[in-house]
Amino acid sequence: MSNPNVLLIITQDTKEQEARYIRDILEAAGCNVLHLDPSVRRSVGGAEISPEQVAAAAGHSIEGVRALGHEGKCQAVMTDGAVKCALKAHAESGLSGVLAVGGSMGTGLAGTVMQALPYGLPKLIVSTMASGFTQPYLGVKDIAIMNAVTDISGINSISSEVFRNAALAVAGMARGYAPTSGSEKPLVLITTLGTTEKSVRPIREALEGDGCEVMVFHSSGAGGPTLDGIAAERNVALVLDLSLTEILDHIHGGLANSGPDRGKAALARGIPVVFAPGNSDFIIAGPIDSAQAQFPGKKYHIHNPALTAVRTDLDDLKPLADHLAKMFGEAKGPVSFYVPLKGFSNHDSPYGHIHDPSIPPPFADYARSVMPENVEFRAVDAHFNDDEFAEAVIAKARELLAR
């Protein structure tokens, strides 16, 4: 087996010693190192992809980048160039791993680069930001992040072990990396939570039995955007967006808020989509005290000490229908909206804690009234977790897959 190619992303203008140390470990572990150096302050030399090349890839000279005199503007240019250089290196050399080391700026650049690279390719960032809010750096890609523990400022008895472990981890992953071309089976993407798993499981099993590859995503804030990311870049046959928590939380300020574009990727690409208001019976809030303060006068279910399910009423759900109707009107492919009339999750059932059977029927009536003409609307006289609802979704999925 030939030695794997590992892309090392680290600035030498501030981290020259660390870069040499990590490079030596990677090479000793049998890796070919392609060092991408996005330095701005000075060019040290020795990197396979120099600061001059990074700047040039973004349409600038390194002198022009330095003349910007603003770290944010410099960062934007070098990030753009770094992404282009990394994609070129992957296309020409075939990367088997990526390792980056940095503070907030280096982590931001490396995270953007890694988000542009394919799923499955090993990716690890050693960062001073690892113990904080990491979502902007990781996005929806399979990026691992390791706490640098100390500042990235020289080699000491702790940082030497952290860097060594990171380098050996990437070397090991790179040596075992075997890129796949993806399954030839039709790819189906589904959203769910544990409160709708009873229905989603037979849907998944039925489609797998039909010969599909099925990926299921937990719609608790990151799962839905991950589904959207895959729908935007892979050959997806069908999306079953059956858990709308992240969209509802965006509208009402819940913890699983995934932003205004959640759910739009498949619609924009013309992928057939079936939506259903699974888990729309609740907004996800924090601990009970904060939930009561943010959403006063509601019914509450304490899911655990950190999370509270806040019962929605018809006035909360009408904006969801309006939001979906606007999204659906821009769809380039077939869209269906299936509404169960007897409850939206296990919480909204006779066995649940915030059951209210009076809400789904008027919600269905309102949703029907606002849906654009391109939407197939169906009200199903069953609970979301009933076999009848699962069978209705399975039948529709099979119809769309057969087209």
Which of 39-48, 65-74, 236-245 is predicted most confidently? 236-245
Instruction: Kindly indicate the confidence band of residue 235, based on its pLDDT and cuts at 50, 70 and 90.
Output: very high
pTM: 0.82
Pairing of strands 307-311, 282-285: antiparallel
Q: Quick one: average pLDDT of 3-31?
A: 96
Whole-number pLDDT of residue 1? 58
Whole-number pLDDT of residue 130? 86
Q: Say if CB 4 and CB 170 are below 8 A apart.
A: no
Hey, is 333 helix, strand or coil? Answer: coil
Instruction: Kindly indicate the confidence band of residue 77, based on its pLDDT and cuts at 50, 70 and 90.
Output: very high
Q: Quick one: average pLDDT of 83-88?
A: 98
Measured between alpha carbons, how far is 183 from 215 in angstroms, rounded to an integer? Answer: 12
- For residue 195, give the DSSP letter: G
Indicate if the pLDDT at residue 140 is higher than 90. Answer: no
Whole-number pLDDT of residue 182? 66
Whole-number pLDDT of residue 181? 67
Whole-number pLDDT of residue 168? 97
Whole-number pLDDT of residue 403? 85
Instruction: Kindly indicate the confidence band of residue 263, based on its pLDDT and cuts at 50, 70 and 90.
Output: very high
Indicate if the pLDDT at residue 215 is higher than 80. Answer: yes
- 295 Cβ partners below 8 Å, 6+ apart? 252, 283, 285, 310
Q: Quick one: average pLDDT of 348-377?
A: 97
Q: Which of 128-137, 250-259, 323-332 has the lowest mean pLDDT?
A: 128-137
Q: Quick one: average pLDDT of 363-383?
A: 98
Rounded to 5 degrees, what angle do the CA atoms 115, 87, 153 make?
Answer: 65
Percent of the chain with pLDDT over 70: 99
Q: Quick one: average pLDDT of 120-136?
A: 87
Indicate if the pLDDT at residue 226 is higher than 70. Answer: yes
Indicate if the pLDDT at residue 302 is higher than 80. Answer: yes
User: How far is CA 3 from each of CA 90, 97, 139, 172, 394, rounded to the nearest angstrom?
Assistant: 15, 12, 29, 11, 47
- Computed over every residue of the chain, the mean pLDDT equals 95
User: How far is CA 357 from each of CA 129, 283, 314, 340, rounded to the nearest angstrom?
Assistant: 46, 17, 11, 11
Query: What's the CA dihedral at 255, 259, 262, 268 to 10 degrees?
Result: 180
Q: Which of 1-5, 254-258, 328-332 has the lowest mean pLDDT?
A: 1-5
Q: Quick one: average pLDDT of 201-223?
A: 96
Q: Higher pLDDT residue, 141 or 117?
A: 117
